[in-house]
Structures are given as C-alpha cells and as structure tokens.
C-alpha cells in the first residue's frame, strides 16, 4: 500500500519528462506577463499527448479511470515544475465537485469536455466572510438565481463555467450547495486580481441575477462540501510537496557550487544541517500527502483526518523549504532573476488556499477520534 507500482512510477516519469520539455522556467516567466497566464499548446498536450485530462475520472466520462493516487502523482510533478495551468482548478477542483455532487446527467454533460480540455471550469468559493474559515460562506442562491461576489476564483479569466458555492436560500437550514453558472451569462463580470503568485491566476467574479443550476439532487448531500474541501486540500498538498522537493534540490545544487571562505558552502554544517532537516520535513509531508491520497482512493473513512494532516504538513514543509532556499542562496536568492522566488510565491499562495496549518491542526483534533480508532 505504501510503495508506488511500476505503472505509477512510469506515469510520474512521463509527466516529469513532458514538463521538463514544456514547462521551462523561462517559458513560465514569459507567461507570467501574459493575460491568459498559461500555455494553451502545452496544456492541450496534457490531454492529447499524455492523456492525463481525467486521471481519476471514470472512463464513462472520458477519463482514465485511475485513482486519486495517480492524480496526486501528476499534481506533484506539476508542483515540482511550477507548471502554470488551469489543470488544478478545472480538471481537479471543478471535476471533483461534479464527481462528488453532480447528477449522472450533469456528469455526462460536463466531465467529458473538461477531461478533454475543451471546456474549462472553476469553483467560485471565497467571499468576504470566509477568508480564513473556508465554510463560513454567507451568500445564497434564491429562486435559481445568484447575486454576489466571489474572489480568489482560480483561473476565473479563462473559465467557461463557474461552480459557485452558495447557500440554498429556500432550505430552512441554509446548507452549502454547489451551483453551475455559464461564464457567458450577461450578469457575470470577471476582474483579474493581482496575486504575488503570477503562476496561479485568480479573479474576482461578480454575479448579478445570474441564472444557476443546482449541482446534484435537491435532497441529497452526502457531506458534499466537506468532502470537496478535503479532496481539494489533498490535491493541493500533493502539488505542494513537489514544489518543496524542487526547492531542496536547487538549494543543494547551489550549495555544492557556491564557494566562500575558500570552500564549498555545502561542506558547512550550518548549511548542510539545514538541508538535512528540510529533507526530513519534506519526506514527512510527502508521506502525509501520499497517505491521504491513498485514503481517498480506498474510500477509507479516516480520510478527513488525513487530509488535515496532509495539508498542514505540506504548508509547513513548503514554506520552510522556500524560506530556507532563499537563505541558502543568500543575496542572489532575493533577486528577481533567480528562480527561487517563483516557488516561494507559489508556496505562499498554496499555504493560504484551503486552510492554513493552524486551521487544519485545529480541525485535526476534532477528527482525531477516527485516527485513534485505527
């Protein structure tokens, strides 16, 4: 259960090789200044060449029918390469919402085109009231119509469809539900938000009397929102450990070449002990991320606790890696020309999306009964 199979290792290898060719840092730097923020050609290649548009999506909806473990492998490689694309927002988050909550008609309508890359979808979640606690959403849908503003919407600038998280205004307990809204609705306006992480685009989307379609059946919930958040946290955690690993490797490589006081700084314990500690923290975070992905794949009831472990561990490991990488590089690490800051910024944007470490640690203790029992 804890070792990757040969097929999984091959998948990792092929994604890594594709991204080495198509996601060079110099290309990423160009894209940071462009409005779309991603390379459509290399993005299409994910679907046409690699066939990873729907790793964990059932074959009947055009996916590969594999599990969350394989999806996590793909995401870890994308995180490592800092690959800027709407893959996470569309093929993972939006696809997850459809998979978890959608009716079979909705899945059949949307998943094949998301899986093939023809259509881009994104989940509109954050609003003023829930910057730190993800579930504190206040806006509601009434009479199939939504009016409100969502911010930090990933890849809002390129989305064809929004999956809006809002309360059901007609339901007396006001539960959180997911609603589909077409981006060509005249009541939708999207404004790009500036982010320190230009490799992950965010937007503010205002909805004015926009007609929405309920995702899933009115009377069924299955804890959909909680699952959605946990699945998202695990996906993000796996992406993050890939980025952390890149930072460690680049720091070690730099230290091996940098000479001060007549010797390589890699021979200095102040530097190498930092790297050893970092390796430990990253390996632990990887184990958390992998274990949580396995739990989702196996429908293990402990997955909510593992999701919190995974996200908290990945947050801390990635930020530590980013801070240490800059410190090990010294002055050059603080410059724009050096690549370290690109990963630092990705670490920061990932840290605050879907829950900080403090949030997940607190949540973990509420979920610990499951942990204790196993």
Partner 1 sequence: MEWTEASVRNELRSFLEANWDPNSDLLDWRNKLIDAGWGMPSWPERWYGRDMPQSLLSVVAEEFASVGAVTVARTGIRLLAAETLLAHGNDAQRERYLRKILTGEETWCQLFSEPGSGSDLAGSTTRADLVGDHWIINGQKVWTTSAHHADFGLLLARHDWDIPKHQGLSYFILNFHQAGVEVHPLRQMNGHASFNQVFFNDAKVPRNDQIGSSGDGWQIAMTTLMHERRNAGNIFVEARRRGDFEGLIYEHEAEETKVVLAPYTWYPLRAGRVDIVLPRASDTGAINNPAARQEIAKLMIMSRCAEWTALRARAAQQQGQPQGPEGSLGKLAGSNIARQAAKVHTLISGVDAMACGNDSPESGIIAEILLSVPAISIAGGTDEIQRNIISERVLGMQKEPRMDTGPFKDVRKN
Buried b (16+ CB within 10 A) or exposed e, 124-163: bbbbeebeeebeebebbbeeebbebbbbbbbbbbbbbbbb
Residues of span 85-124 touching partner 1 by CB under 8 A:
none
Query: How many whole angstroms separate alpha carbon 329 and alpha carbon 307?
Result: 32
Annotate each residue in 255-274 with x if it binds partner 1 (CB under 8 A) or - if it does not, as one string: xx------xx-xxxx-xxx-
Annotate each residue in 274-313 with x if it binds partner 1 (CB under 8 A) or - if it does not, as one string: -xxx-xx--xxxxxx-xx-----------------x--xx
**Which one of 28-36, 108-116, 132-140, 360-368 is the stretch in contact with partner 1 (CB under 8 A)?**
360-368
Instruction: Please identify, using beta-carbon distances, which residue of 193 and 370 lies nearer to partner 1.
Output: 370
Instruction: Please identify, using beta-carbon distances, which residue of 261 and 336 lies nearer to partner 1.
Output: 261
Instruction: Please identify, using beta-carbon distances, which residue of 150 and 291 lies nearer to partner 1.
Output: 291
Compute the least distance from the CB of residue 56 to partner 1, in Å.
Answer: 21
Q: Does 328 bind partner 1 (CB under 8 A)?
A: no
Instruction: Please identify, using beta-carbon distances, which residue of 36 and 268 lies nearer to partner 1.
Output: 268
Q: Does 186 bind partner 1 (CB under 8 A)?
A: no
* Tally of CB atoms within 10 A around 215: 22
Compute the least distance from the CB of residue 21 to partner 1, in Å.
Answer: 25
> Which residue matches tokens 């600038």?
157
Q: Does 365 bind partner 1 (CB under 8 A)?
A: yes
Distance between first and last Cα of the chain: 16
Size of the site for partner 1 (CB under 8 A): 41
Residues of span 2-31 touching partner 1 by CB under 8 A:
2-3
Annotate each residue in 190-229 with x if it binds partner 1 (CB under 8 A) or - if it does not, as one string: ----------------------------------------
Q: Does 373 bind partner 1 (CB under 8 A)?
A: no
Compute the least distance from the CB of residue 260 to partner 1, in Å.
Answer: 13
Q: Does 370 bind partner 1 (CB under 8 A)?
A: no
Compute the least distance from the CB of residue 3 to partner 1, in Å.
Answer: 4
Burial class (CB within 10 angstroms; exposed 0-12, middle 13-18, buried 19+) of 302? middle
Instruction: Please identify, using beta-carbon distances, which residue of 163 and 364 lies nearer to partner 1.
Output: 364
Instruction: Please identify, using beta-carbon distances, which residue of 180 and 328 lies nearer to partner 1.
Output: 328
**Which one of 157-165, 189-197, 227-235, 356-364 is the stretch in contact with partner 1 (CB under 8 A)?**
356-364
312 three-class SS:
helix
Instruction: Please identify, using beta-carbon distances, which residue of 1 and 41 lies nearer to partner 1.
Output: 1
Compute the least distance from the CB of residue 317 to partner 1, in Å.
Answer: 10
* Residue (of 205, 223, 243, 233) closest to 321 by Cα position: 243
Instruction: Please identify, using beta-carbon distances, which residue of 337 and 372 lies nearer to partner 1.
Output: 372
Say if strands 121-124 and 140-142 run parallel, antiparallel, or are unpaired: unpaired
Instruction: Please identify, using beta-carbon distances, which residue of 57 and 234 lies nearer to partner 1.
Output: 234
Q: Does 372 bind partner 1 (CB under 8 A)?
A: yes
Instruction: Please identify, using beta-carbon distances, which residue of 140 and 245 lies nearer to partner 1.
Output: 245
Query: How many whole angstroms separate alpha carbon 101 and alpha carbon 94?
Result: 11
Query: Which spans of this chain sit near partner 1 (rule: CB under 8 A)?
Result: 1-3, 248, 252, 255-256, 263-264, 266-269, 271-273, 275-277, 279-280, 283-288, 290-291, 309, 312-313, 358, 360-362, 364-365, 368, 371-372
């Amino acid at each position: 259960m804890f070792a990757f199979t040969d097929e999984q290792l091959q998948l990792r290898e092929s994604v890594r090789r594709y991204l080495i060719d198509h996601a060079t840092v110099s290309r990423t730097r160009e894209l940071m200044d462009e409005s779309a923020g991603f390379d459509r050609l290399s993005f299409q290649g994910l679907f046409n060449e690699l066939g990873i548009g729907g790793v964990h999506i059932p074959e009947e909806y055009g996916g590969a029918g594999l599990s969350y473990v394989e999806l996590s492998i793909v995401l870890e490689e994308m995180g490592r390469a800092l690959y800027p694309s709407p893959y996470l927002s569309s093929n993972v988050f939006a696809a997850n919402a459809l998979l978890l909550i959608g009716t079979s008609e909705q899945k059949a309508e949307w998943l094949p085109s998301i899986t093939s890359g023809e259509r881009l979808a994104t989940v509109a979640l954050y609003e003023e009231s829930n910057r730190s606690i993800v579930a504190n959403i206040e806006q509601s849908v009434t009479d199939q119509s939504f009016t409100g503003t969502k911010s930090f919407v990933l890849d809002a600038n390129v989305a064809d469809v929004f999956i809006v998280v809002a309360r059901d205004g007609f339901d007396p307990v006001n539960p959180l539900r997911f609603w589909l809204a077409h981006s060509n609705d005249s009541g939708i306006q999207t404004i790009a938000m500036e982010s320190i992480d230009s490799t992950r685009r965010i937007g503010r989307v205002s909805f004015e009397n926009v007609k929405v379609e309920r995702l899933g059946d009115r009377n069924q919930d299955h804890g959909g929102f909680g699952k959605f958040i946990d699945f998202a946290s695990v996906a993000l955690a796996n992406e993050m450990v890939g980025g952390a690993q890149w930072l460690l490797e680049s720091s070690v490589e730099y230290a091996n070449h940098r000479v001060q006081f007549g010797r390589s700084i890699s021979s200095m314990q102040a530097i190498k002990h930092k790297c050893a500690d970092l390796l430990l923290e990253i390996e632990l975070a990887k184990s958390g991320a992998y274990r949580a992905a396995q739990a989702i794949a196996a429908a293990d009831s402990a997955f909510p606790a593992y999701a919190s472990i995974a996200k908290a561990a990945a947050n801390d490991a990635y930020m530590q890696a980013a801070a240490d990488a800059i410190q090990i590089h010294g002055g050059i690490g603080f410059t724009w020309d050096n690549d370290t800051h690109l990963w630092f910024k990705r670490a920061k944007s990932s840290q605050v999306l879907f829950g900080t470490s403090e949030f997940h640690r607190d949540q973990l203790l509420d979920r610990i009964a499951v942990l204790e029992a196993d």
